[in-house]
Structure 1
């Protein structure tokens, strides 16, 4: 049996146990999809009631760190972009953040990510970008093409740093709304798909050439076109 858990009066016992449960899962090397120990075993190990354990597990489930499955105590989970999406969409709606402000974040994140991707990208990353360029050309409608466009940018961010990819993944639903609005303005002001693909091809080529400055400039050019499109819909 482990040491009995005690709680400071200012911190609920459930929260203390949640933190120690999370540490236990890490210490035991449990990976995503692995089953967690039974409730009774955890209650004995921490010297608390089963109710406290169940409440702590519910808290970790709400944070996306445990996933409940029928017939199992639960399995380890890793929070992903969907958890960030919920957070971002709530705050954007509550704070009245505009598409232009969202684009400010893209510029800071993606220009830097393009530079780092040129430093770190491997052949599979370049192949992925090439596949996505082909998918952009063969998309059957604007929505499908723009979804591939976002995936292209996520692939660059992930090649640079997994955290960049995670953040961009979380922003993707908001970015899709922005891109759908901007695309019509882009077309109305003389833009076309071929020009967009040319910009993305240049971006892929600069990353493949390990040209950090060139990749950053190519990303900046692509995002500047979006910036102009935003101005056209305001």
Structure 2
């Protein structure tokens, strides 16, 4: 996929300011190179498909932007969850959200039912750090029979970090029993993720072909 042209920083700031604070710069502001009407175009909202949620530093603005984009957002990056997901976002429906990526699992004992939050109801792919999180997943799926994964989840993508090791802790047969495929990658960038969600978007007679295309895209890069 060819790289896209970056937007000027003042336009990005204007978009965030518009979505989060419901205000706008005046047109003759010396720092503003975009007209306010630019932000009212439906195409602006539709074009934002991936968002990185960065609590606790920008929690209010990030939360407001996610809710403003709830009907177009397809992938969400959250460094830490479930404890860093604000209460009013947990039960919010994001109908197009199909992919979630995280690095750390925090607060899992405080929120045993987090996988059943409305936020995750349409998620088909989890991308997470293998070396940081595989122990958690193996432990909770073995020991907590009340724990339920999101209903549409079909793929776990484990990122093996540089210098990381692989150990079979019994996690993969458990996931396989729930019809969830496990994949291993050394890295995944935004272009890889956009490719995945494009394939997830295939419907009707193309859905089965999309399933195989997704599996091809997730062919293991890391040799165990």
**Superposition TM-score, scaled by structure 2 size:** 0.29
Which structure has the bigger radius of gyration? 1
Higher relative contact order (CA 8 A, sep 6+): 1
Select the structure that is richer in helix: 1
Q: What's the TM-score once normalised by structure 1's chain length?
A: 0.28
Structure having the larger proportion of residues in strand: 2
